[in-house]
Amino acid sequence: MSTQTELPPPPPVSTSDEIDPIRCGFYRSDHLLVRSRKLGELESLIDYCKTTACDIAESDRESYIALLDVATRALQSARHTIDTNLLEISLKTGGVK
């Protein structure tokens, strides 16, 4: 005979009256700034990997650098999205800083 475990009820959902958009915007922008910095660090790491590509066999070097270029473009796209979100948040919370 199997017993079924009951799950606890879900937490109450905040209403729009309880949410402070400015505070949430600041939290979100801090979080996005951290992500943007991390993406910048990854871009720097990829640039470093390109400079050390001479350690790779010549036949594989071109493919390796092409792969790094794709990764760089993906990171740049992610940073652009984050920067756009940061701009939207700053405009909603009182202007560009």
Please give the residue that has the higher pLDDT: either 78 or 11.
Answer: 78
Angle, helices 21-51 vs 58-92, to 10°: value is: 160
50 contacts 25 by C-beta, under 8 angstroms: no
Domain assignment present for 2: no
Q: Number of folded domains in the chain?
A: 1
Domain assignment present for 29: yes
Instruction: Output the six-digit token pair for 35.
Output: 């992500």
Categorize the per-residue pLDDT at 33 as very low, low, confident or very high, splitting at 50, 70 and 90: confident
Domain assignment present for 15: no
Other C-beta atoms lying within 10 Å of the C-beta of residue 82: 20
Domain assignment present for 49: yes
Contacts 24+ apart (CB under 8 A), 53-62: none
What local confidence, expressed as pLDDT, does residue 70 receive? 92
| 95 secondary structure, DSSP code | S
Range of the domain at 60: 21-92
Other C-beta atoms lying within 10 Å of the C-beta of residue 72: 16
What local confidence, expressed as pLDDT, does residue 22 receive? 53
Q: What percent of the chain has pLDDT over 90?
A: 9
Domain assignment present for 10: no
What local confidence, expressed as pLDDT, does residue 55 receive? 76
Domain assignment present for 16: no
Average pLDDT for residues 16-39, to the nearest whole number?
68
